[in-house]
């Protein structure tokens, strides 16, 4: 386990130390579970009451706390400080492969930058280029004529098919598949006729793709994921999609063929977009939203079919009252039938 002093941690995050600067920690825990020797985080000053019972040896906090028994490191942006410290702990807890394993199969034509690591039983195909500091975990398959940019990490059991391009500083997580054949068929004479998918996949810089996520290659051109986009596990990006920069796709989100997402689009869990639909910049697809037609920039939608979120909430509110409304409707029907059954008043 790594050991960090409060002084070292404050140096990482630029915080002010209150208490002993030689206090050391070897582990990270939540506020309610932390004890001496642990580091904890208070991310938001609004929740400072949550830290009242915390017994961490060191606490990173956005505000100074009265009566805290351990050492405090006060940072204006405690959440960014947490990201920095977690990165340091992750490097120690999850060491990467070092060097090129003699059990890896690397084609002689592969070009490698400096400090490339390739794990056991990885396969790197003909004509592929690996940038500086690329890390490839065991059992990875990289096909022919691929490009993997500097400092990109490909975790175990990932499959990267021929002619896929991945930028710098990306993370492709366990069991993801990039460049598999898109789902293309036409129907003739009662049969499904295959349309071979001969395009490619291009992924920008700083992209993360989660475990068991698939990105299919295009029919003839490119499936594109632009810089800074983060895709969770169990997602699907179909052939010819174009995902703009800095988008978020949460677990089980899926895009049908030829979808275009603008900049900063958020696709929440289990949302879906029909083929050939364009979603404007900054739009938010809330959980399980089903989008069947184009959305303008900034739209926030919910439900299936997707509607503006406020409208969908009103619909759900009415749905909760349907049994009561049905009873009232039946009572009104009976009342009307009773009125109809009455003999007409003499004129």
Q: Is residue 148 part of a domain?
A: no
Rounded to whole angstroms, how far apart are CA atoms 51 and 41? Answer: 9
Domain span at 31: 4-93
What CATH code is carried by the domain that includes residue 277? 2.160.10.10
Rounded to whole angstroms, how far apart are CA atoms 173 and 201? Answer: 17
Do 184 and 276 lie in a common domain? yes
Q: Which residues contact 43 (CB under 8 A, 6 or more apart)?
A: 62, 78, 79, 82
pTM (2 d.p.): 0.84
Q: Is residue 98 part of a domain?
A: no
Residue 347: what pLDDT?
A: 62
Question: How far lies 236's CA from each of 241, 257, 269, in Å?
Answer: 10, 10, 12
Q: Identify the bridge partners of residue 231 per DSSP, sorted by sequence position.
A: 209, 249
Q: Domain for residue 300, yes or no?
A: yes
Domain finish residue from 62, 93, 124: 93
Q: Are strands 200-203 and 278-279 parallel, antiparallel or unpaired?
A: unpaired
If the chain, 347 residues long, is cut into consecutive pieces of 10 residues, what is the mean pLDDT of each piece? 88 91 92 91 85 88 89 92 90 87 97 97 98 98 98 98 98 98 94 96 98 97 98 98 98 98 98 97 97 96 85 82 87 84 71
Active site residues: 239
Q: Which two tokens stand for residue 139?
A: 């059992």
Same domain, 170 and 297: yes
- Category of 337 on φ-ψ map: left (φ > 0), alpha (ψ -120 to 50) or beta: alpha
Q: How many domains does the chain have?
A: 2
- Residue 232 placed within a domain: yes
- The H or E element spanning position 133 is none
Distance of CA 154 to the CA centre of its chain: 16
């Amino acid at each position: 386990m790594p050991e960090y002093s409060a002084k070292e941690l404050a140096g990482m995050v630029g915080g002010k130390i209150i208490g002993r600067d030689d206090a050391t920690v070897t582990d990270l825990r939540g506020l309610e579970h932390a004890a001496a020797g642990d580091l904890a985080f208070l991310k938001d000053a609004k929740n400072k009451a949550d830290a009242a019972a915390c017994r961490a040896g060191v606490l990173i906090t956005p505000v100074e706390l009265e009566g805290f028994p351990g050492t405090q490191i006060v940072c204006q942006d405690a959440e960014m400080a947490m990201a920095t410290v977690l990165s340091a702990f992750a490097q120690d807890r999850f060491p990467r492969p070092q060097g090129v394993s003699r059990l890896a199969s690397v084609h002689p034509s592969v070009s490698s930058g400096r400090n490339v690591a390739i794990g056991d039983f990885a396969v790197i195909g003909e004509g592929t280029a690996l940038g500086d500091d690329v890390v490839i975990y065991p059992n990875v398959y990289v096909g022919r004529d691929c490009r993997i940019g500097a400092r990109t990490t490909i975790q175990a059991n990932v499959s990267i098919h021929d002619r896929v391009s991945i930028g710098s500083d990306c993370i492709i997580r366990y069991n993801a598949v990039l460049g598999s054949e898109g789902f293309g068929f036409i129907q003739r004479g009662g049969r499904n006729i295959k349309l071979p998918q001969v395009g490619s996949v291009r992924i920008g810089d700083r992209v993360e793709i989660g475990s068991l996520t698939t990105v299919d290659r295009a029919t003839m051109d490119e499936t594109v994921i632009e810089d800074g986009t983060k895709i969770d596990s169990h997602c699907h990006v179909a052939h010819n999609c174009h995902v703009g920069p800095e988008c978020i796709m949460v677990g089980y989100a899926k895009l049908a063929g030829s979808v275009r997402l603008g900049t900063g689009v958020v696709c929440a869990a289990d949302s879906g977009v029909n083929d050939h639909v364009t979603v404007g910049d900054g739009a938010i697809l809330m959980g399980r939203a089903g989008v069947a037609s184009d959305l303008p920039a900034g739209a926030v939608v919910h439900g299936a079919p997707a509607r503006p979120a406020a409208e969908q909430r009103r619909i759900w509110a009415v749905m909760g009252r349907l049994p009561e409304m049905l009873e009232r409707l039946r009572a009104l029907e009976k009342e009307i039938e009773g009125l109809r059954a009455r003999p007409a008043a003499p004129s």
